[in-house]
């Protein structure tokens, strides 16, 4: 057993979530700055983060909006970037699928890269913990990640151009994804999906409106599913 009850699991999750602040805060600050520079108000910027709560999709949509891309392209590109969330949901369902619907709704909303990565690793390490402990752990991981995301978004929007460019806040995005994806490449299917997505996204980078991301996301999922199918066969 991983802990001695929901509270113990919650605080264990909280401790595991705290290190993600090192990338969540700069990432959210940067989005707040860029959103206001693009013409959004502080309220609109915060609403963007609250409704979407997915940094990569938010940056993608914001860039396309600045490029005056058609609305359908903005929505399709953001959805393509967030296709991984559907895979996260399918992966975590065996552990949390028996929760009451209101808890599943909360989990679905806060199921982001960081909460998924930390939770799935913990569940695989401690498969025998009760579902109440598993959900408490998930909420513990979420606490130092999601509320600070909103606060830092507002801070970035308010501060705007007063944040010096020398801080290099754009380092947060690649570091965050490398830190989360690298440990997750545990099978050939994972590696195949990642490599295929990278090759296709780069190969189709010439497409307008970042449509190469959609090609890469779809191709990566197909490659990963095919490798896993053949392995099971």
Divide the 233 residues of the chain into consecutive groups of 10 and give the mean pLDDT of each group: 77 94 86 82 90 82 78 80 82 92 95 92 90 95 95 89 61 59 72 88 84 82 85 78
What own/partner pairs with CB < 8 Å and gap ≥ 24 does 3-10 have? 3/129, 3/133, 3/137, 5/133, 6/132, 6/133, 6/135, 6/136, 7/136, 8/133, 9/129, 9/133, 9/134, 9/136, 9/137, 9/140, 10/136, 10/137, 10/139, 10/140
pTM above 0.85, yes or no: no
Residue 145: per-residue pLDDT: 94
Alpha helices in the chain (DSSP H): 6-17, 21-37, 42-52, 55-66, 71-81, 83-96, 101-110, 113-125, 131-142, 146-159, 172-181, 188-203, 211-232
**Per-domain residue ranges for the chain?**
6-169, 185-233
168: left (phi over 0), alpha (psi -120 to 50) or beta: left
């Amino acid at each position: 057993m991983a802990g001695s009850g929901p509270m113990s699991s919650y605080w264990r999750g909280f401790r595991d979530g705290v290190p993600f602040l090192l990338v969540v805060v700069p990432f959210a600050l940067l989005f707040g700055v860029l959103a206001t520079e693009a013409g959004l108000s502080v309220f609109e910027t915060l609403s963007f983060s609250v409704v979407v709560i997915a940094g990569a999709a938010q940056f993608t949509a914001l860039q396309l909006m600045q490029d005056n891309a058609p609305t359908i392209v903005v929505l399709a590109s953001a959805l393509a970037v967030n296709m991984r969330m559907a895979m996260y949901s399918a992966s975590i369902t065996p552990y949390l699928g028996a929760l009451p619907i209101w808890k599943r709704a909360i989990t679905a909303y806060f199921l982001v890269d960081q909460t998924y990565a930390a939770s799935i690793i913990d569940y695989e390490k401690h498969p025998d913990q009760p579902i109440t402990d598993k959900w408490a752990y998930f909420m513990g991981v979420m606490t130092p990640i999601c509320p600070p995301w909103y606060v830092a978004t507002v801070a970035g929007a308010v501060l705007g151009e007063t944040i010096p460019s020398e801080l290099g806040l754009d380092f947060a995005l690649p570091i965050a994804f490398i830190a989360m994806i690298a440990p997750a490449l545990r099978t050939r299917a994972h590696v195949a999906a990642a490599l295929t997505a990278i090759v296709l996204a780069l190969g189709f980078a010439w497409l307008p409106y970042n449509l190469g991301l959609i090609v890469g996301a779809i191709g990566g999922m197909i490659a990963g599913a095919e490798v896993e199918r053949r392995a099971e066969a």
